[in-house]
Amino acid sequence: MFKSKIIGEKNQIYFQLKTKNYPLEAIYATAYIFIDRAYVYLDGDPAKEVTVFLQGKDELGKKKLAALQGEFLNELLNYLLRVEVARSNQKIREYIVATALVSSLPSQNPDYFSDSDEEAEAGDWESDPMGIAVSWEEKNKKTLRKDSESKTNDEDGKNEPFKIAVSCEEEKKETIKTSDERGSNISAWRDDPLGIAVSWEEKNKKTLRKTKEKNKAGKRK
């Protein structure tokens, strides 16, 4: 049995625990459990012995204080076992966590983008809940109809708001006028100093003649 001392006036009991038998982690955890029932205070040298002071929040007799100490020691045993199990399983836990982390990396796992995901995605876009996949023509059927109707009216010559009904000859005349008005800027491209504007036929007149003559000679033969 543990040596303990009860101070009835202070409603307090205290006892020593050897840290060889009871590691400090287990004592901390047990003390934390008892915080709501008693005032807990720890003192001493963690390398050798820790003194635990328990003071009841309500007034407790000597028996109840002794029972409180017993409960504390039982809980201490419980946490001692937990600490021991945690220590013995530490390497296994670390190994499991490490393998889980490594396997979750996409570069290491070839099945990361599986076929099932692709199939699921394919099903999703076909459903088109937002109505994004509808074409522009289907969306704007009404406006297209209006446009086509207005065009047919223009062809008939009923409406002539723009210059669509102007004939080709009139257009040519207008363009010649505007080009004359522009003056020297336009005459510059007509000069064609690099010879780009010359057609292929003009450039290769000689070769064309030769090929024609050859063709004629071949037909005579």
Partner 1 sequence: MKKNKLFFCKEIYNKNAVLKAMKDYSKLANFNFSENSKYFFVGISKERPEFKDVIENEFCNYVLSLGKK
Contact positions toward partner 1, by CB under 8 A?
24-25, 28, 31-32, 35, 39-47, 50, 53, 55
Closest to partner 1 by CB, 15 or 154: 15
Closest to partner 1 by CB, 54 or 73: 54
Output b/e per residue, 163-196; b: 16+ Cβ within 10 A. eeeeeeeeeeeeeeeeeeeeeeeeeeeeeeeeee
Distance of CA 42 to the CA centre of its chain: 49
Closest to partner 1 by CB, 45 or 191: 45
- Please, what is the minimum distance in Å from the beta carbon of residue 58 to partner 1? 12
Closest to partner 1 by CB, 32 or 113: 32
- Please, what is the minimum distance in Å from the beta carbon of residue 113 to partner 1? 44
- Please, what is the minimum distance in Å from the beta carbon of residue 37 to partner 1? 10
Closest to partner 1 by CB, 28 or 189: 28
- Please, what is the minimum distance in Å from the beta carbon of residue 39 to partner 1? 4
- Residues 75 and 34: beta-carbon distance below 8 Å: yes
- Please, what is the minimum distance in Å from the beta carbon of residue 94 to partner 1? 22
